[in-house]
């Protein structure tokens, strides 16, 4: 047991460290500190860094026995004793890994009391507070952290964060000896942090440095974390092995309708913390087991743990069935039939037969079609990714068709329940639409397109790709070609080419595999398509070859949300061969996202 005298000594130690950090922040400025931190910087590099980021704070971890003690320490250092506190994500995870603890058992908060600096700027001391009550088993953790100051660091905030600037800053730090030391995205404050170990010749007095960028920059963070994790392979591999647990935790959250129970007032109302016992009665389920699930969901950022219980985050709201852009159906699909068939991934790689067919005896289209409830969920899951469609109604090809005199038609090929077609027609009153789909989907599409108020401008063709409607101005293949092998794709594209007038356009929406092997959603979906569907994702030049074989040419492509792209194709000139080959950003179209 820790004695009251020891607790007081620790409190005094934390107070002295807080005071020292506040003095450091008060006396420094950006350019001086950068020269100390990265002694090898030349004048041009220093100016470039100082123009793109500024010294924001010094940080440290303290371990008060309770919140009132923490507030007293802040006041003793002349810092705001009432500074707002919010949950930590990144530091909590680092502590959990370092001390082999369950992150859910670590109550770490972030406070940022302001400091008035000698250069007239306003900066903060970033305080990570790990609650360590007297007698707690975390006393040894606190002693280790005070002795080693692992979380003490300097932070520079990026002024105008964008991917190019962030990559450049990370590269400059690395070139001058700073080594990647973790980081993460904090959904509670919508900010991304990049941690580095300071260079060996640094004279700044802090062993770690942070770059902070407001917003979600996980695409830039991924290679930074990869460099960090390469130095600790066993822990990295262990975390990767538990990915299936995450899938099932999200599916269980959706299946139990926890988001609805936590947000009983509705998705658009203010969210408050809900006691586990209250939630357990509302769901209903075992309170102790529910608490275990909620702690894991808190680690994922789906909920937050607060004194009054658990509160739903913006991430968690997307698992509500009635939220805008709900992804509940996707969670249920990936945690249901597709999750089961992924157990046969090894056999799929060995035999070339999809895991889904081996498990269920038929392809997923036929399996779902004969089970109405699953078919409806599958269609809903497809609509759940509709955010990738947001820029498409403004695509230059569609905009031009909508502005042309007379009535022109958009043909949505295998367009599901008509989510994309409805968006296009709602944005362009001068356009009509035709949806080609299977019989059971067409009925659902009629109802869905009526909700857009465009049902009267839609025609419906029940059939297969061979029944492609002729005479359209714009043909759309959204997330269709990745379902099929190359031969079937060529056949589908030839049906399009035969139906298209000479001046018609084809828009293909797919996730494109990166040409350089960089991390992407397309790489993950490529594995999913192989195991569960029998299709594949492709590179842009691969699609160009398929289009060319069908008598079409790729004009260009441009990005969409959720890792997707839209490829624009037209009919090749009569007698032209090998007309495709454009695999960069579209010519003359501009970017659509």
In a domain, 580, yes or no: no
Compute, in degrees rounded to 10, the torsion defined by CA atoms 61, 66, 70, 72. Answer: -160
CATH code: domain of residue 532: 3.40.50.150
Report yes or no on 200 lying in a domain. yes
Dist CA 553 CA 571 (whole Å)? 6
In a domain, 102, yes or no: yes
Q: What are phi and psi of 583, to 5 degrees?
A: -120, 5
Is 545 domain-assigned? yes
- The CA–CA distances, whole Å, from 278 to 307, 501, 543 equal 14, 62, 53
Same-domain check for residues 197 and 288:
no
Q: The CATH number of the domain where 276 resides is what?
A: 1.10.10.10
Residue 354 belongs to some domain of the structure? no
**Are 448 and 314 within one domain?**
no
Is residue 185 domain-shared with residue 284, that is, in the same domain?
no
Mapping DSSP to helix (H, G, I), strand (E, B) and coil, where does residue 12 land?
A: helix
Q: Whole-angstrom distance between the N-terminal and C-terminal Cα of the chain?
A: 59
Sign of CA dihedral 46, 50, 52, 54: positive
Question: What average pLDDT is seen over the chain?
Answer: 88
DSSP 23: H
Domain assignment present for 20: yes
Question: Do 261 and 225 belong to one domain?
Answer: no
DSSP code for 7: H
pLDDT of residue 45: 92
| 217 is annotated as an active-site residue | no
- Are 211 and 252 in the same domain? no
| Residues 111 and 9 grouped into a single domain | yes
Between CA 511 and CA 526 the distance in angstroms is 9
**23 exposure class (CB count in 10 Å sphere: 0-12, 13-18, 19+):** middle
Clarify whether residues 156 and 118 are in a common domain: yes
d(CA 488, CA 375): 23
Residue 378 resides in a domain:
no
DSSP state of 532: I
Task: Tell me, yes or no, whether 318 and 396 share the same domain.
Answer: no
Which of 57, 482, 557, 568 is catalytic? The answer is: 482
* 174 and 318 share one domain: no
Domain endpoint, select from 335, 350, 371 = 335
Does the global pTM surpass 0.85?
A: no
Same domain, 38 and 163: yes
My answer on whether 457 and 401 are in the same domain is yes
What is the reported pLDDT for 586? 40
Q: How does pLDDT run across 426-445, given as a tens digit for each residue?
A: 999 999 999 999 888 898 89
Q: Are residues 182 and 68 in the same domain?
A: yes
Distance CA 429, CA 404 (A): 11
Smallest CA-to-CA distance from 491 within 547, 439, 534 is with: 547
Strands 474-478 and 408-413: parallel
User: How far is 339 from 248, CA to CA, in rounded Å?
Assistant: 9
Flag whether 523 is in a domain: yes
Distance, CA of 565 to CA of 355 (rounded, Å): 27
Q: How many domains does the chain have?
A: 3
Low-confidence stretches of the chain (pLDDT < 70) are 1-11, 265-271, 574-593
Question: What is the domain extent for residue 283?
Answer: 242-335
- pLDDT given at position 467: 95
């Amino acid at each position: 047991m820790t004695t009251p005298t020891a607790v007081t000594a620790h409190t005094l130690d934390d107070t002295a460290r807080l005071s020292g950090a506040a003095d450091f922040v008060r006396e420094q400025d950006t350019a001086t500190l950068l020269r100390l931190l990265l002694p090898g910087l030349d004048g041009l590099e220093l100016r470039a860094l100082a123009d793109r980021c500024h010294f924001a704070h010094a940080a440290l971890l303290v371990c008060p026995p309770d919140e009132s003690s923490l507030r007293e320490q802040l006041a003793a250092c002349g810092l705001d004793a009432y500074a707002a506190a919010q949950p930590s994500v990144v530091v909590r995870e680092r502590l959990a890994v370092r001390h082999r603890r369950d992150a859910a058992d670590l109550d770490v908060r972030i406070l940022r009391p302001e400091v008035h600096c000698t250069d007239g700027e306003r900066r903060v001391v970033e305080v990570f507070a790990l609650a360590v009550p007297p007698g707690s088993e975390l006393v040894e953790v606190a002693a280790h952290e005070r002795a080693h100051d692992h979380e003490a660091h300097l932070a520079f905030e990026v002024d105008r964060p964008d991917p190019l600037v962030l990559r450049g800053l990370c590269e400059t730090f690395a070139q001058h000896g700073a080594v990647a030391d973790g980081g993460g995205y904090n959904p509670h404050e919508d900010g991304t942090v990049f941690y580095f170990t300071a260079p060996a010749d640094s004279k700044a007095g802090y062993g770690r440095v942070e770059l902070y960028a407001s917003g979600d920059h996980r695409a830039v963070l991924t290679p930074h974390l990869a460099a960090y994790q390469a130095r600790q392979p066993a822990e990295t591999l262990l975390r990767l092995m538990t990915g299936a647990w995450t899938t099932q935790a999200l599916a269980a959250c959706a299946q139990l309708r926890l988001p609805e129970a936590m947000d009983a007032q509705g998705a658009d109302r203010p969210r408050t913390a809900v006691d586990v016992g209250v939630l357990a009665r509302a769901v209903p389920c075992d309170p102790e087991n529910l608490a275990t699930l909620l702690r894991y969901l808190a680690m994922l950022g789906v909920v937050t743990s607060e004194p009054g219980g658990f509160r739903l985050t913006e991430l968690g709201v997307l698992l509500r069935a009635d939220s805008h852009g709900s992804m509940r159906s996707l969670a249920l699909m990936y945690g249901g039939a597709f999750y089961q068939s992924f157990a046969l991934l090894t056999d799929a790689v060995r035999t070339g037969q999809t895991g889904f067919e081996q498990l269920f005896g038929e392809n997923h289209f036929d399996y779902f079609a004969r089970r109405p409830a699953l078919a409806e969920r599958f269609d809903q899951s497809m609509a759940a990714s509709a955010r990738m469609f947001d820029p498409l109604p403004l695509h230059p090809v569609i905009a031009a068709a909508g502005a042309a005199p007379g009535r022109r038609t958009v043909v949505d090929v295998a367009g599901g329940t008509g989510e994309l077609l409805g968006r296009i027609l709602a944005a362009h009153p001068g356009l009509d639409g035709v949806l080609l789909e299977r019989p059971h989907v067409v009925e659902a599409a009629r109802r869905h397109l009526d909700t857009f108020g465009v049902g009267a401008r839609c025609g419906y063709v029940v059939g297969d790709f061979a029944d492609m409607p002729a005479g359209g101005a714009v043909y759309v293949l959204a997330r269709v070609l990745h379902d099929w092998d190359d031969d079937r794709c060529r056949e589908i594209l030839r049906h399009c080419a035969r139906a298209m007038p000479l001046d018609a356009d084809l828009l293909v929406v797919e996730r494109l595999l990166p040409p350089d092997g960089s991390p992407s959603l397309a790489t993950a979906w490529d594995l999913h398509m192989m195991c569960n569907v029998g299709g594949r994702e492709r590179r842009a030049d691969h699609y160009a070859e398929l289009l060319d074989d069908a008598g079409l040419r790729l004009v260009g492509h441009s990005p969409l949300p959720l890792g997707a792209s839209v490829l624009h194709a037209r009919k090749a000139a009569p007698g032209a061969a090998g007309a495709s080959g454009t695999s960069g950003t579209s010519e003359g179209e501009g970017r659509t996202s």
